[in-house]
A and B are shown apart, each in its own frame.
Chain A
Amino acid sequence: MNLIVPIKQVPETSNVKMDPETGTMIRDGVESIINPLDLYAIEIAIQLKETHGGKVTAVTMGPPSADKALREAIAMGCDDGVLVSDRQFAGADTWSTAYVLVKAIEKIGAVDLIIAGERATDGDTGQVGPNIAAAMDLPLATYVSAVDGVEQDAVTVQRLTEEGYEKLRLPLPALLTVVKEISYPRLPTLRGKQRAAKTEIPTFTVADLDVEAGYLGLKGSPTRVVKIETPKVTRGGKIFKVTDEESLHEAVDSLIAFMKTKEII
């Protein structure tokens, strides 16, 4: 089966500092990594290939330096990588990104299953995966936590919902976005790294894709980031000091009275 994994290169955010003036991230010296949630998509795709045969292609839209993310994916076990890169794509929102990725996926060729991470840790929208499915008119399952079976023309999955799990059978081709529960990502091996270094990664530019200029980049994006704000936390706590039985009763009474005003009890 032909599997495609759209991935994103994101800044490594666990050590990141914020600029208190602008509320944006200080990107200086910040390392770029594969979106951590995409690793689970890569892993399950490789596992499906190992069981059912076929090929896994990682695809990413980003600057030329995003090549590094694709090589890491290949080092883990993906067969190929495709970089979608052009200055005209810069500043694209989720809709425009999905639009370009769909064109790239169509160019890659026949596809049976597209597997994406749940969301990227930088934008945090979780929209690009479902957007691709919508644009390609593919059946979609989000928050997939297990792939139960693959048949000739269908895939059976479990998806995580607020109440529990839902079991779905989707005709192929289809698109899944997956959650952490689905797999334990493997580490890249030395042999994988060596293969990745030798693999030729094609770059698709505007000229290579059947795209309309009006839908590209910041200009072609229907949504805009107008302002970034850090939400103000207004939660104030109250501490009751309990030293004896009397103060204990007082504290409990106050707590009950408070919960009544909030209609919690």
Chain B
Amino acid sequence: MAYGKVTRDVIGELVAILGEKNVFYDPEKMESYSHDETPIEQYQSMPEVVITPTTALQIAEVMKLANRELIPVTPRGAGSGLSGGAIPLFGGILLSVEKMNKVLEIDYDNMMIVVEPGLVTNEINGLVAEKGLFFAGYPMSLETCFVGGNIAENAGGGKAVKYGVTGQYIVGMEIVSPQGEIIELGGKIIKDVTGYDLKRLMIGSEGTLGIVTKAIIKLSPLPKAVTNLLVLFEDVDTAISTVPMIMSEGGIIPTSIEFMDKLSVHTACDYLNEHLPYQKAGSMLLLEVDGTKQSQVDEDAEVIGELCLENGAIEVYVADNYTTQERVWSVRRNIAEAFKVYSPHQSLEDIVVPISAIAGLMPLIEDIAKKYDIKMPSYGHAGDGNLHTTLVKNPESTMEEWYEIEEKALLELYDAVKSLGGKISGEHGIGAKRKKYMDDLLGPGEMTMMRTIKRALDPNNIMNPGKIFDL
């Protein structure tokens, strides 16, 4: 479909709807809205105009205008996405929710908070901490990302084993539909089977089915005690086989079970000048248990630690205070940075497989890395089978060679994931980056259902077009 252009007249109408200061088209100012956290040189695309609405009403007006003129609209949160979801592939209008960043209500009786989509996620935790509450579904980038983006991607993070992901905490929302209607979905209720669960359809739809303008978020009691275990294993198999045992035999659901393979452990420890005896380690697990009482948390940590030792762990370290916890988590947090020193050109992946399949996946990844002479460290959330396997360019190869290798290696990785019953994205989304693999990986039935929904809700295909799949 040929889209309409953002003409002088369209700009005039946008200014009339939004006001002068919420519309700009200076290329220098728009540059930062042309990419997210995916590599700029591969995925950048400039918008024709950027708008910063302040109300749902304004957004509704803009959507009506966009439908009339057939101009694509790309909604955007903080731009911290890892799949190119907020990049305006076809130019058009980039709609940034950055000015809709208010907390509308804190409802302690219902343990809920009502916020606008441009609020930085971690601000919720800062506001409700003194009442002993927190938003449990946040992703790792909580200090920069926006609530709106979290909902659009159904973001998850390091605590998903116990607390799940963003979607589980969104009980209601206000949206502007692709055709410009303001619609309320769900509410301040925990149970709701009153018709189709449309709010769940919106969650994770990557801004292709509408724009969230208000979110009702369920809060949880903030754990008072936290203990971490850093466990060294000789190889991947023993580490991974311990994971389900912790939950089944140990009877404990940890907050996090993070896995790091040998390459990740060694590179991160080297980078941090961390002198743990990691040289012997073929893999590492980082576990967190939390609760209301320190004694209970310590007991749980001990049960888990003993299970690890029984299962052949080399050593179990216990971190139960700020100093040691910072130290063990910094190994996990610095893996990506550590590999950037080796080569800044990477493809950060987000595969997810059944927990029991992780051990079987590792040798397949090793084969792919060897075949293409690249590094492929794997680390991530072992407790939910979600791994951030990363393709790291060999510094010796040219960029042309790298792009070719990246595509081939990704295809082989995704095929391996599929053969083990997994999917290609657990929490980062498909966006622009992974859409070309969708038709091969998902069945025709599922793809038809998705396309039918998209066509029905957005007949002109102007709402974040070119994301997840092409129509």
Please indicate whether A and B come from the same complex rather than being unrelated chains. yes
Given A187-B276, A188-B317, A190-B229, decide whether A15 and B302 contact each other with a Cβ distance below 8 A: no
**Which residues of A lie under 8 Å from residue B321 when comparing CB positions?**
12, 31, 33, 72
From DSSP, what is the main secondary structure of chain A's interface residues? mixed
Q: Does A247 contact B (CB under 8 A)?
A: no
Q: Is A193 an interface residue (CB 8 A)?
A: yes
Complex Cα spacing A75 to B317, Å: 10
A75 engages B323 (CB within 8 Å): no
Task: With A187-B317, A189-B316 as known contacts, state yes or no: A12 contacts B230, CB within 8 Å.
Answer: no
Once the chains are docked, how many angstroms separate the CA of A192 from the CA of B305? 12
Known contacts A33-B321, A75-B318; A187 and B328 CB within 8 A of each other: yes
Q: Is the CB of A12 within 8 A of B322?
A: yes
Separation of A162 and B306 alpha carbons in the complex (Å): 48
Which residues of B lie under 8 Å from residue A70 when comparing CB positions? none
Q: Does A36 contact B (CB under 8 A)?
A: yes
Known: A75-B318, A184-B275. 11 other contacts (CB 8 A): A39-B323, A187-B276, A188-B319, A188-B324, A189-B316, A189-B318, A190-B229, A190-B305, A190-B309, A193-B302, A193-B318
List residues of chain A with CB within 8 A of the CB of B305: 190
User: Is A152 in contact with chain B by the CB < 8 A criterion?
Assistant: no
Q: Cβ of B317 and Cβ of A31 under 8 Å apart? A: no
Q: Name the interface residues of B307-325: CB closer than 8 Å to any CB of A.
A: 309, 315-319, 321-324
Chain A 28-42 against B: per-residue CB contact (8 Å), 1 yes, 0 no?
Answer: 000101101001000
Q: Does B280 contact A (CB under 8 A)?
A: no
Q: Does A24 contact B (CB under 8 A)?
A: no
A33 touching B323 in the complex, CB below 8 Å, given contacts A187-B328, A190-B229, A190-B302: yes
Measured as residues with beta carbon below 8 angstroms from the partner, the interface class of chain B is 20 to 34
> In this complex, which of A33, A36, A187 has the most chain B Cβ atoms within 10 angstroms of its Cβ?
A187
> Is A194 an interface residue, CB under 8 A from the partner?
yes
A-side residues, CB < 8 A to B, are 12, 14-15, 31, 33-34, 36, 39, 72, 75, 184, 186-194
B positions within 8 Å CB-CB of A: 229-230, 275-276, 301-302, 305-306, 309, 315-319, 321-324, 327-328
Rounded to whole Å, the gap between the CB of A193 and the closest CB of chain B is 5
Which residues from A are CB-within-8-Å of B309?
190
The answer to whether A190 and B317 have CB atoms under 8 Å apart is yes
Residue in contact with B322 in the complex, picked from A33, A189, A190, A191, CB distance below 8 Å: A33
Residues from chain A with Cβ under 8 Å of B315 in the complex: 189
- In the complex, the answer to whether B322 meets A187 with C-beta atoms within 8 Å is no
Instruction: List the B side residues contacting A72 at CB < 8 Å.
Output: 321
Residues from chain A with Cβ under 8 Å of B327 in the complex: 187
A12 near B302: Cβ-Cβ < 8 Å? no
Report yes or no: B319 in contact with A187, Cβ–Cβ below 8 A: yes
B309 — nearest CB in chain A belongs to which residue? A190
Residues of the B chain whose Cβ atoms lie less than 8 Å from the Cβ of A184: 275
A15 to B321, CA, bound (A): 13
Closest 4 CB pairs of A and B: A184-B275, A190-B305, A190-B316, A187-B317
Bound Cα distance from A59 to B316, whole angstroms: 26
Of the A-B pairs whose beta carbons lie under 8 Å apart in the complex, a sample of 22, sorted by A's number, is A14-B322, A31-B321, A33-B321, A34-B323, A39-B323, A72-B321, A75-B318, A187-B230, A187-B276, A187-B317, A187-B319, A187-B324, A188-B319, A188-B324, A189-B315, A189-B316, A189-B317, A190-B229, A190-B301, A190-B309, A190-B316, A190-B317
Residues on B with C-beta less than 8 A from A12 are 321-323
Closest B residue to A15 using CB positions: B322
A184-B275, A187-B317, A188-B317 known; A194-B302 Cβ under 8 A: yes
Considering the chains assembled together, what is the distance between the CA atoms of A190 and B318 in angstroms? Answer: 6
Q: How many whole Å from A146's CB to the nearest CB in chain B? A: 15
Residue of A nearest to B275 (CB): A184
Residues of A within 8 A of B324 (CB): 187-188
* Bound-complex Cα distance A12 to B321 (A): 9
Cβ B318 vs Cβ A31 within 8 A: no
Task: Report Cα–Cα, A175/B229, bound state, in Å.
Answer: 35
Partner of A188, one of B275, B302, B318: B318
User: Is there an interface contact between A31 and B230, defined as CB atoms closer than 8 Å?
Assistant: no
Q: How far is the CA of A186 from the CA of B315 in the complex (A)?
A: 12
Smallest CB gap from B324: residue in A: A187
Contacts of B275 in A (CB 8 A): 184
A242 to B327, CA, bound (A): 43
Task: Looking at the assembled complex, report how far the CB atom of A29 sits from the nearest CB atom of chain B, in whole angstroms.
Answer: 10
A189 — which chain B residues lie within 8 A by C-beta?
A: 315-318
